[in-house]
Structure 1
Amino acid sequence: MGDFTVPKYRYPAQFEGRERELLKRIEEVLLRGGYVLGEEVAEFETRLAAYLGTGHAIGVNSGTDALILTLDALGVGPGDEVVTVANTFHATAQAVARRGAVPVYVDCRDDDFLMDLDQLPAAFTERTRAVILVHMFGRAADVPRAREICRDAGVPLVEDCAQAIGARSAGVRVGTVSAAGCWSFAPSKNLAAAGDAGAVSTGDEELAERLRLLRHFGQPAQNQHEILGYNSRLDTLQALVLLHKLDRLDAWNAARAEVAAAYHARLAHLPLRFQAPGAAPDEHVYHLFQVRAASESVRDGLLAHLVASGVDAVVRYPVPLHRQPALSSGGRGNRSGGFPVAEELARQTLCLPVRPDLDEAELGHVCEAVERYFR
């Protein structure tokens, strides 16, 4: 058992039994051409929009670019403020900074690790131009309440859905009822490309058209540049990989939920806490499975023990955004200790493997390793 490794990712499992079909289509594209905004990109955009239940999906180069282009399309620029949560991946705030705007942080809740919406109204000023609501670790935030708060303040709501494709909030897919949903299909995600890839979903036709211009040099036709744009197009080969996987996404998410339920049941007797799963089963798609120890020293000891036991556990976001040198300057209230829940989560949480193909032997190995540490 000492050399038994339980990895975070097992990419071959995402292709088993169907890899020949995908490779044939890749070969066709390589020989045919259409590498940039090829017909497979349009096909994936159509199918993704239908899956989500929204009007438009615009493929871009990455989840980070999805955020940057969306903020640009909404008119966010230098001197503006964009409110987001303190315990997210750095790209959320980096996108704000890349537009010349200031990220303003709100602390998260102690139970579900999501933005504390009770604190959101106090973060607004006359310079606030948008809110980015993040669905952390695959758990859907309360989109209807966030929409109401933003509507009352006259501020557009953007959803960072990078970790939560397939999740629902109040019965509706995330990323479909706000101004825009921003998606990442990086290799670690529940729906994973074979490299960088992203998309923006929106029901606003005007916003969708502006995003299509922005991603392609601001040109509606060759050498006709109407606006200052970017080079941020979803690669045709990555669109093929995503098309190959999309129809299995819900089954994979259900398998992740089964692994998470097993962790909850088998580890419930230990001095650990978990992210609240939500009122309905479809509110969490378990991109990451977070366990929370009593202290930083316990967390770090558990992490070292798991790694030594062959379990590919990892700490995500050990430094909150307000303490990151690149993202801390300029924001209001961006000080150490100003966001106590985010600070605690950074010190106390780690992630256990939660692959959809995690088998019973691997699951048992992880749980036994955790139990041995506390014994």
Structure 2
Amino acid sequence: MKVPMLDLSEQYQGLKSEVLEVLDGVMSSSRFILGDNVKKLEADVAKYSNVNHGIGCGNGSDAIHIALQALGVGPGDEVITTAFTFFATGGAIARAGATPVYVDIDPVTFNIDPSKVEAAITEKTKAIIPVHLYGQMADMESLAKIAEKHNLAIVEDAAQAIGAKHNGKSVGELGTAATYSFFPTKNLGAYGDGGMVVTDNDDVAEKCRVIRVHGSKPKYYHHVLGYNSRLDELQAAVLNVKFPHLDKWSEMRRKNADTYTSLLKEKVGDHVVTPVEKEGNYHVFHQYTLRVENRDELQKFLQDQGVSTMIYYPLPLHVQPVFQELGYKEGDLPITEKAAKEALSLPMFPELKREQQEYVVEKIAEFYGK
């Protein structure tokens, strides 16, 4: 059996006629930049996040950078974040001219550990970027208290977590701003790149809107140095078709996660550590990520058996070559570094079949001699 990491073909077939209709509508209108589809998506995603503003932009990486710039983060500033994330998180900080300050993670959720954040705050600290990794929100209530105490902004990197909740609060409610990615593999994915900043702060929202169009307001009059990062009208049209299905897809992911956990505990036992949904959280399982023994050997074995897996992420940001001038070394973030050697993500998408999951778990059990 072949089990892909992600298969979007079934989803497309179910939406095909509607998708083609809206794409034809955009092309017939000849309105390709910041049109009605973008406005609708911005309004709907903002409402979904329980905030007043959505600002569509070119991709999730730009969304973080735009939010930081709107908050005034720049050269001489420090931004505290996690090293166990995709490069865009640290890259956006550096592109803003600020210095990323990496702290360790919670060993259970893989998210930033609030207890490590306060000790890293200096007079240069301007913001905190928690990453809601794999679809589960970080401990935002604790982070919000720290931010309020020290007068810091919070930009939630929610690229993997649209629809996630923390004690009833949505992404964006407890931070100054939050950012989404609509990369095709995401829970709400476009057919190309796309991203969005959501915020309840009127001033931050207005600055984001100006920054994404070369810093101009009105057109051709430039008061800040922005850049070209607008959500494409065609991508917004696709996302508007998909958006009403998001909650259903999240529930399907959660059901698949429950199936994996049950099968793994029954058939594999202590050789793997299954994901934990922290009390009060609503996990949307962008990824189903295990901690495993002999990770690299297991991945190779599964590949040979037709099972795709991914490692998110094999080299933490604090020891990436591009950040070597920051002075971090192996051993500085031991929990992060351990996770990078043990994390393995299994195939996960709403349409994943039980027989596919049974096959995946059967092969994992075979590897460990169960």
Output the TM-score relative to the length of structure 1.
0.95
Q: Is the 8 A contact 2:22 2:238 kept in 1?
A: no
CA–CA distance in structure 1, aligned partners of residues 141 and 343 of structure 2: 28
Aligned partner letter, 2:363: A
RMSD: 1.2
Match of 2:176 among 172, 175, 179: 179
What's the counterpart of residue 274 of structure 2?
A: 274
What's the counterpart of residue 315 of structure 1?
A: 311
Secondary structure at 2:236 match in 1: helix
Structure 1 stretch displaced more, 5-14 or 345-354: 5-14
Match of 1:216 among 199, 209, 213: 213
Aligned partner letter, 2:138: A
What's the counterpart of residue 70 of structure 1?
A: 67
CA–CA distance in structure 2, aligned partners of residues 366 and 341 of structure 1: 27
Q: Is the 8 A contact 1:97 1:327 kept in 2?
A: no
Deviation per CA, 1:114-148: give whole Å up to 9, x if none. 11111110100011111001101111111111000
Matched, 1:99 2:99: no
Alignment of 1:76-225 (within 5 A): 76-225=73-222
Aligned partner letter, 2:92: A
What's the counterpart of residue 22 of structure 2?
A: 25
CA–CA distance in structure 2, aligned partners of residues 315 and 347 of structure 1: 9
Deviation per CA, 1:176-215: give whole Å up to 9, x if none. 2311001111011100011110000000111101100000
Matched, 1:325 2:300: no
Deviation per CA, 1:60-118: give whole Å up to 9, x if none. 00110000011101111112110001211111000001011110001001111111111
What's the counterpart of residue 35 of structure 2?
A: 38
Q: Is the 8 A contact 2:263 2:358 kept in 1?
A: no
Matched, 1:350 2:347: no
Aligned partner letter, 2:99: V
Deviation per CA, 1:209-238: give whole Å up to 9, x if none. 110000011122321223221100000001
CA–CA distance in structure 2, aligned partners of residues 42 and 13 of structure 1: 28
What's the counterpart of residue 289 of structure 1?
A: 288
Q: Is the 8 A contact 1:270 1:371 kept in 2?
A: no
Q: Is the 8 A contact 2:83 2:336 kept in 1?
A: yes
Match of 1:258 among 255, 260, 269: 255
What's the counterpart of residue 297 of structure 2?
A: 301
Alignment of 1:225-264 (within 5 A): 225-264=222-261
What's the counterpart of residue 365 of structure 1?
A: 359
Secondary structure at 1:18 match in 2: helix
CA-CA distance at 1:352 after TM superposition: 0.2
Deviation per CA, 1:308-366: give whole Å up to 9, x if none. 111111111100111101123226xx221100010001011111011110012211111
Deviation per CA, 1:10-50: give whole Å up to 9, x if none. 11222233311211111121122111111110011111111
Aligned partner letter, 1:302: L
Q: Is the 8 A contact 1:14 1:245 kept in 2?
A: no
Aligned partner letter, 2:164: A
Q: Is the 8 A contact 1:113 1:275 kept in 2?
A: no
What's the counterpart of residue 337 of structure 1?
A: 331
Q: Is the 8 A contact 2:189 2:239 kept in 1?
A: yes
Alignment of 1:5-16 (within 5 A): 5-16=2-13
Q: Is the 8 A contact 1:142 1:170 kept in 2?
A: no
CA-CA distance at 1:270 after TM superposition: 4.1
Q: Is the 8 A contact 2:199 2:205 kept in 1?
A: yes
Structure 1 stretch displaced more, 15-24 or 251-260: 15-24
CA–CA distance in structure 2, aligned partners of residues 94 and 51 of structure 1: 28
* Identity, % of aligned positions: 39
CA–CA distance in structure 2, aligned partners of residues 117 and 187 of structure 1: 31
What's the counterpart of residue 48 of structure 1?
A: 45
CA-CA distance at 1:248 after TM superposition: 0.6
Aligned partner letter, 1:35: F
Matched, 1:61 2:58: yes
Q: Which runs of 5+ in 1 are unaligned?
A: none
